[in-house]
Amino acid sequence: MARVSAIDYWETLESELYPGNTTTSTCLQPAVMAVESSLELGDRQRSNIVYRLDGGSGTDENLAWLLDRGYQIVAKGFSGRRAHVLAQQVRRWDQTGSDAFVGSVASPMNFSRPTWVIVKKWQKAGKWRHSYYVTTLKLPSKQAFLRYYDLRGGAEVEQFREDKSGLFLSFRRKRSWNAQNGLIHLTDLAHNLLADFRFRALSASPFESWGLKRTVRDLLAVPGRIYFEGSQLKRIELKHGHPCAQDLLICLQRYQNQPFGE
């Protein structure tokens, strides 16, 4: 499964199901095009968007494609053999952290826009290992670049984990391809509704730091009743003795009084 997310808001922008033998590099371009379509991104917007990619997506073809479409990139290169060759061209190594070194080299790739190429080396099991990185950003140092690169992965670390534990995505499996694909998109719908609730109702509350699992398990499970007149919500009652009830009522009132989408 491939997923693209808006990290600050924790909204899933696009998810797609792929066969298990599909490589990450082949998923990038369809995912980018889906986001472009859903957000209606023009040239000006794309020039302000940075794609942070790990090595699985950092092929020359993908990087050139992103640059041609006007995006900024912070990417790890795909080829370990190229990284070893580039390491031989570094004239000065600067230490970063306790056991790694970084250096700059001229770009070996003929892209449509200027790029900065950084090589990293570190020791593992007594041998030097190498990786290389490509960016269009102007950052103050090579160390600053690596710190910026390490900020990637919020969707994988946070949202996949939260959906698996909080929405039981990993426990619900369908044998049919269409059924599994439908399950993923239903999970996305639930995830985004909860993202909106957390963003608009739980901010600046005692529950602001709660993750999706705790929100579903402990907060949305508070016993209570809701009353409607026709299709209009009129009243919410929560169990008086529950420790979260009073603060949750304040959050629910704020959520109900704020028009959707604001």
The CATH number of whichever domain residue 77 belongs to comes to 3.90.350.10
Q: Which of 152, 171, 198 is the last residue of a domain?
A: 152
Q: What is the pLDDT of residues 221-248, one digit of tens each?
A: 999 999 999 988 888 899 989 999 999 9
Q: What whole-number distance in Å separates Cα of residue 67 and Cα of residue 47?
A: 9
Q: What whole-number distance in Å separates Cα of residue 76 and Cα of residue 59?
A: 9
% of the chain surpassing 90 pLDDT: 49
One domain for residues 68 and 145: yes
Mean pLDDT of 171-187: 83
What's the confidence (pLDDT) of residue 212?
82
32 has pLDDT over 80? yes
**Cβ distance 114 to 106 under 8 Å?**
no
17 has pLDDT over 80? yes
Q: Which domain holds residue 141?
A: 41-152
Q: Which of 110, 131, 152 is the last residue of a domain?
A: 152
One domain for residues 64 and 142: yes
* Residue 23 one-letter amino acid: T
| CB-side neighbour CA atoms (13 Å) of 188 | 19
| 69 domain residue, yes or no | yes
Look at 26 and 173; give whichever has higher pLDDT.
Answer: 26
What's the confidence (pLDDT) of residue 69?
96
Q: Which of 111, 135, 152 is the last residue of a domain?
A: 152
At 18, is the pLDDT very low, low, confident or very high (cuts 50, 70, 90)?
confident
What's the confidence (pLDDT) of residue 72?
96
| 169 domain residue, yes or no | yes
Q: Find the range with the poorest average confidence among 11-15, 132-136, 160-164, 165-169.
A: 160-164
Which string of DSSP letters, residue by residue, matches 181-248? Answer: HHHHHHHHHHHHHHHHHHHHTSTTSTTTT--HHHIIIIITT--EEEEEETTEEEEEEE-TT-TTHHHH
Q: What is the pLDDT of residues 247-258, one digit of tens each?
A: 999 999 888 887
Q: What's the whole-number average pLDDT of the chain?
A: 87
Facing residues of 23 across strands? none
As for how many domains the chain has, the answer is 2
One domain for residues 146 and 173: no
| 234 domain residue, yes or no | yes
What's the confidence (pLDDT) of residue 21?
87
One domain for residues 45 and 91: yes
Q: What is the pLDDT of residues 45-89, one digit of tens each?
A: 999 999 999 999 999 999 999 999 999 999 999 988 999 999 999
**Cβ distance 74 to 49 under 8 Å?**
no
Q: What is the pLDDT of residues 152-163, one digit of tens each?
A: 755 555 566 667
One domain for residues 98 and 166: no
What's the confidence (pLDDT) of residue 2?
59
| 19 domain residue, yes or no | no
| 63 domain residue, yes or no | yes
| 16 domain residue, yes or no | no
Q: What is the pLDDT of residues 91-134, one digit of tens each?
A: 999 998 778 999 999 999 999 999 999 999 999 988 999 999 99
| 235 domain residue, yes or no | yes
One domain for residues 167 and 212: yes
Strands 2-6 and 100-105: unpaired
**pTM for the whole thing?**
0.73
One domain for residues 162 and 213: yes
